[in-house]
Each structure stands twice: as structure tokens, then as C-alpha cells.
Amino acid sequence: MKLLLDQEKFDFVIQRLAQQLIENHPDFVNCVLIGIQPRGIFLANRIVAQIKYDFKIVVPYGKLDITFHRDDIHSQNNMLIPNQTDIDFSIDGKQVILIDDVLYTGRTIRSALDALVDFGRPDKVELMALIDRRYSREFPIQADYIGLRVDSIFSQKVKVFWKENDKKDEVVLIDNH
């Protein structure tokens, strides 16, 4: 197991991602953030809180469940339990920033894009990921905002620990040999 982000670096990455959003969307007019359930909402919650704390801006924020838009829903051996979608605003004509913790094959983001159109037609969609596992895409998807790029092989796994769920903030690379 290799430590990629400890608590201090983890906090720094969150602050940097929030700063990058502000640079590209100074007043967040016509812009919304949407966290992808289940683990993308941890990052989204932190980004929303950081923007509010640092810049005194309240950003429209929603949570998107993609369970029934997944392309592997019928091939799962275990029963998938859907999470709650909470988007109480229109995304028509908005700039949407989708947020997830790890960008790996791109399948989750593809599912999120499918689910997103149920809520309207955005003007533009951007993607934020805490971790980008490059060289592993199955779909031509890339993030606009990246906390950390990780080069890993197929047998390795990136695990993100969140205080809210795991009692600590850190990112590790695990060898599954």
C-alpha cells in the first residue's frame, strides 16, 4: 500500500480545486455543481463548503444517482441499492460541473451524462475528479479539474478515504496481487 495523499495534502487539493472553479466561474452565475452518488458527493460537499468559506458564494448544488443508468446493472452479482437523487433546480442552459472522487474507466461519467439529461439540457458540462487514473479509459472522457493524476496498472486499486465515512481523509494505492 502506498500513501498518495495524506490529510494535509488532501486539504490542499480541495482548496486548489475550489480555487480553479472560481478562476473559471468567478460568480457562478448560470453554473451548478452536481455530485455523483455515492462517493462523488463527499468531494462535492467539500468543494461547496470551501467555496462558501473562502469566497462567500453559495453555489446551487445537487446529488445525482446513476444506478439505473449503469451499463453493468444487469451483470452485477450483488443487488445494487440506489441512492437518492436531489436536484431541485433546472439544468437547462446551465453550466454543470459533475463531481466524482475517482475517474477510472469513464463508465461512471458516461452513466452520469445519461442520467443528467433526465433533468434538462445543460449548456456545457465539465468534470471534476479528485483522482484521475489515466491510461485506463474505456470511454473518451477526461476531467477538466483534477486533484491528482495517478499512473497505475490494472491490478492496482486507488482507495479514497473520507472523514465522513472512513474517519480519515487520505488516498492510497493498493496492490491486489
The percentage of residues in the chain with a pLDDT greater than 70, rounded to a whole number, is: 91
CA–CA gap between residue 168 and residue 25 (Å, rounded): 30
| Residue 45: inside a domain | yes
User: What is the 3-state secondary structure of the chain?
Assistant: CEEEECHHHHHHHHHHHHHHHHHHCCCCCCEEEEEECCCHHHHHHHHHHHHHHHHCCCCCEEEECCHHHCCCCCCCCCCCCCCCCECCCCCCCCEEEEEEEEECCCHHHHHHHHHHHHHCCCCEEEEEEEEEEECCCCCCCCCCEEEEEEECCCCEEEEEECHHHHCCCEEEEEECC
Please check whether residue 170 lies inside any domain of the structure.
yes
Residue 46 maps to a domain: yes
C-alpha cell at 133: 487514473
Q: Whole-prediction pTM value? A: 0.92
Q: What is the residue whose three cell numbers read 453555489?
A: 59
pLDDT digits (tens, 9 = 90+) for 121-153: 999 999 999 999 988 899 999 999 999 999 988
Instruction: Give the number of other CB atoms < 10 A from CB of residue 15.
Output: 14
On whether residue 76 sits in a domain, the answer given is: no
Mean predicted lDDT score pLDDT of the chain: 91
- Quote the domain boundaries for residue 52: 2-66+92-175
pLDDT in tens, 152-167: 888 899 999 999 999 9
CATH (domain of 160):
3.40.50.2020
Residue 79 falls inside a structural domain: no
Name the grid cell of 14: 480541495
pLDDT tens figures, 72-97:
555 555 556 667 888 999 999 999 99
Is residue 77 domain-resident? no
Contact at 8 Å (CB) between 164 and 42? yes
Contact 171, 161 (CB under 8 A): yes
**Cell numbers placing 76:** 452485477
| Cα–Cα distances in angstroms (integers) from residue 136 to residues 34, 149, 152, in the given order | 24, 12, 8
Asked whether residue 144 is assigned to any structural domain, the reply reads yes
Give the count of domains, the chain.
1
Residue 84 belongs to a domain: no
Task: Name which of 105, 106, 115 is nearest 35 in CA terms.
Answer: 115
